[in-house]
Amino acid sequence: MNKKGLLIVVSGFSGVGKGTAVKKLVSEYGYSLSVSATTRAPRPGEVDGVDYHFKTVEEFEKLIDYNGFIEWAQYVENYYGTPKQFVEDELEKGNNVILEIEVQGAMHIKEQYPDAVLIFITAPNAVTLKDRLFGRGTEDAKVIGKRLKRAYEETDDMMHYDYLVVNDDLDKCVQDLHAVITAESFKSDRNSEHINIMKSELTDIRKEFIS
Amino acid sequence: MNKKGLLIVVSGFSGVGKGTAVKKLVSEYGYSLSVSATTRAPRPGEVDGVDYHFKTVEEFEKLIDYNGFIEWAQYVENYYGTPKQFVEDELEKGNNVILEIEVQGAMHIKEQYPDAVLIFITAPNAVTLKDRLFGRGTEDAKVIGKRLKRAYEETDDMMHYDYLVVNDDLDKCVQDLHAVITAESFKSDRNSEHINIMKSELTDIRKEFIS
């Protein structure tokens, strides 16, 4: 019914598998994925325009000056940002846009787009989350300790999200994300135009019966 | 994650096919259906406890006195009401309860159960709605005129519902209703307990890394 697309912001605990879930969601249901811009160097296998839009510092700062980002931030020595043009074009075309971003960025987006739908991907429980972090097998206990600290801090932000979706089984998680987006498109405040059209059409049709 | 069931209130335009959609939804997904009580006589084929709980006027009025209804109303000469015990028992057991009811009753329920989810089933457009009313082939133009008048009046109530779901194709309508219920169960304000548990578990797990 509603014509404009939805802006869907997805965050989640470090190690919860949100990247995989978002990729599958986008490929299965044809949503538009927003690709972030960054000044950090591409890692082996990363493709420009797919994993990130890789920019020089000069290019990135020029885009900041031209108001080209919905939100941007600097971590360590690198810039990260969400290009505005792509998101607005897609929404205007009626496409639903998925944006995977950390908590701070998600809050900035909600300020500018109050209609945005914020989803936090969580684990069934903390032990599962810890096991997944260990499961990567690449980090030592100190690094995992840091990640658990961050996860602990992120629990404070979960209430600011509209929905909490558990990633226990990947397929179910992807279906659940799709159910949330589907349901949001039916919200009555997103469909006031349908109500107006029904009202106007029923006014006309009733005339046939009154005259 | 959340333990308590959801109370789902479904209304819709006269002739839109909401009864069929609700029956299919309940049988396919195993939701609990609330059956109304009434003092009107059973029509041929109607089964007590399935279509309605058929009551005498005395029985019904006693239930009113004992606060046995979530809401009740009198139409023409008959009472209609939603028995409270069934709904509360099912919600307590963690089952989602579906309640099909007209607009006025839905508003009363929202007052008492602010967490209730209100869904209005609409038609793709007014011509389709009119055609369906004619399609029944049982009513004359005057009766259909009355129904269209009522549909026109109901457009004023649509904004009070949380969701508008179109019944164009029955299977899609049922899937969409299920998506709304699924999504609602993920709302973060319905899952504050999960957040508290995660926080507490992460506190404990972090101790292993700090000590």
The answer on pLDDT for A211 being more than 70 is: no
Query: How far apart are the C-alpha atoms of A192 and A199, rounded to whole Å?
Result: 11
Q: Are residues A114 and A90 in the same domain?
A: no
- B125 shares its domain with B166: yes
Check A209 against B125: CB less than 8 A apart. no
Q: Average of pLDDT values for A32-49?
A: 95
pLDDT in tens, A61-95: 999 999 999 999 998 789 999 999 999 999 999 99
C-alpha–C-alpha distance, residues A98 and A57, integer Å: 26
Residue A78 has which token pair?
């690198």
Quote the pLDDT of residue A130: 87
Within chain B, strands assigned E span 7-12, 32-33, 37-38, 53-54, 69-75, 78-83, 97-100, 117-122, 163-166
Cross-chain CB nearest to A201 (options B120, B125, B194): B125
Tokens 């019904």 correspond to B60
**Mean per-residue pLDDT, B140-167:** 90
> Which residue among B126, B183, B191 sits closest to A198, beta carbon to beta carbon?
B126
Euclidean distance between CA atoms A51 and B155, whole angstroms: 46
Tokens of A56: 């020089």
Count of beta carbons in the 10 Å neighbourhood of residue A38: 20
Mean pLDDT value across residues A180-203 = 95
Same domain, residue pair B13 and B51: no
Last residue of a domain, one of A77, A94, A111: A94
Task: Determine whether the interchain pair A152/B176 forms a contact, defined as Cβ–Cβ distance below 8 Å.
Answer: no
Say whether pLDDT at B2 is over 60. no
Q: Could you tell me if B16 and B110 lie in one domain?
A: yes
Q: Are residues A117 and A188 in the same domain?
A: yes
Instruction: State whether B145 and A206 contact (CB < 8 Å).
Output: yes
Residue B190 DSSP class: G
What confidence category does residue A135 fall into, taking pLDDT thresholds of 50, 70 and 90? confident
Whether A168 and A124 have beta carbons less than 8 Å apart is answered as: yes
Task: Give A139's pLDDT tier (boundaries 50, 70, 90).
Answer: low
CATH number, domain of A48, equals 3.30.63.10
Residues of B62-84 as b/e, b for ≥16 C-beta within 10 angstroms?
ebeeeebbbbbeeeeeebbbbbb
Both B110 and B69 in a single domain? no
Final residue belonging to a domain, choices A61, A76, A94: A94
pLDDT band at B210 (very low <50, low <70, confident <90, very high): low
Q: Which residue of A126, A164, A178 is in closest CB contact with B201?
A: A126
Amino acid at A36: S
Using the beta-carbon criterion (under 8 Å), do B155 and A195 form an inter-chain contact?
A: yes
pLDDT band at A210 (very low <50, low <70, confident <90, very high): low
Q: Least CA distance to B129: which residue of chain A? A: A202
pLDDT value at position B134?
A: 76
Instruction: Give the pLDDT confidence score for residue A137 in this predicted structure.
Output: 64
Cα separation of the two ends of chain A: 31
The residue among A198, A200, A206, A208 with the most chain B CBs within 10 A of its CB, best to mutate, is: A198
The answer to whether residue B9 scores a pLDDT higher than 60 is yes
From the list B207, B7, B174, the residue with the least C-alpha distance to B101 is: B7
Q: Which two tokens stand for residue B175?
A: 């899937």
Mean pLDDT of the residues in chain B: 92
pTM to 2 decimal places: 0.92
Q: Per DSSP, which regions of B24-116 are E strands?
A: 32-33, 37-38, 53-54, 69-75, 78-83, 97-100
The letter for the amino acid at A32 is S
Tell me the shortest Cα–Cα distance from B53 to chain A, in angstroms: 32
Q: Which residue of A has its CA nearest to B151?
A: A202
Would the pLDDT of A142 be above 60? yes
Nearest Cβ partner for B188 among A161, A182, A204: A161
Query: What are the chain A neighbours of B189 within 8 Å (beta carbons)?
Result: 159
| Residues B22, B107 share a domain | yes
Q: B24 with B114, same domain?
A: yes
Given pLDDT bands bounded at 50, 70 and 90, which one contains residue A19?
Answer: very high
> For A5-23, what is the mean pLDDT?
94
Lookup: tokens for B183:
């999504």
CA-nearest of B185, B4, B191, B177 to B88 is B4
CATH number of the domain residue B24 falls in? 3.40.50.300
- The number of distinct structural domains making up chain A is 2
Cα distance from A187 to chain B (closest Cα, Å)?
Answer: 4
Q: Look at B201 and A147; give whichever has higher pLDDT.
A: B201
Q: Which residues of B touch A151 (CB under 8 A)?
A: 202
The helix (H) or strand (E) run that includes residue A156 is: none
Same domain, B90 and B114: no
H or E, element range at A27 = helix A18-29
Whether residues A78 and A155 share a domain: the answer is: no
Distance CA B61, CA B74 (A): 11
Answer for the pair A118, A162: CB distance below 8 angstroms, yes or no.
Answer: yes
For residue B136, pLDDT over 70 is answered with no
- Cβ B53 vs Cβ B38: under 8 Å: yes
Pair A111, A184 in one domain: yes
Rounded CA separation B97/B88 (Å): 9
Name the one residue in this structure whose structure tokens are 């059973």: B42
Chain B residues near residue A122 by CB distance under 8 angstroms: 194, 198
Judging contacts by C-beta atoms under 8 Å, the chain B residues touching residue A162 are: 187-188
ipTM of the complex: 0.91
Residue A26 has pLDDT above 70, yes or no: yes
The pLDDT value given to residue A75: 84
- Domain that includes residue B40, residue range: 35-95
The answer to whether residues B53 and B78 belong to one domain is yes
B62-72 tens-digit pLDDT: 999 999 999 99
- State the pLDDT confidence band at B209, using cuts at 50, 70 and 90: confident
Predicted local distance difference test score (pLDDT) of residue A134: 76
**Closest CB from A130, A186, A206 relative to B165:** A186
**Cβ B162 vs Cβ B119: under 8 Å:** yes
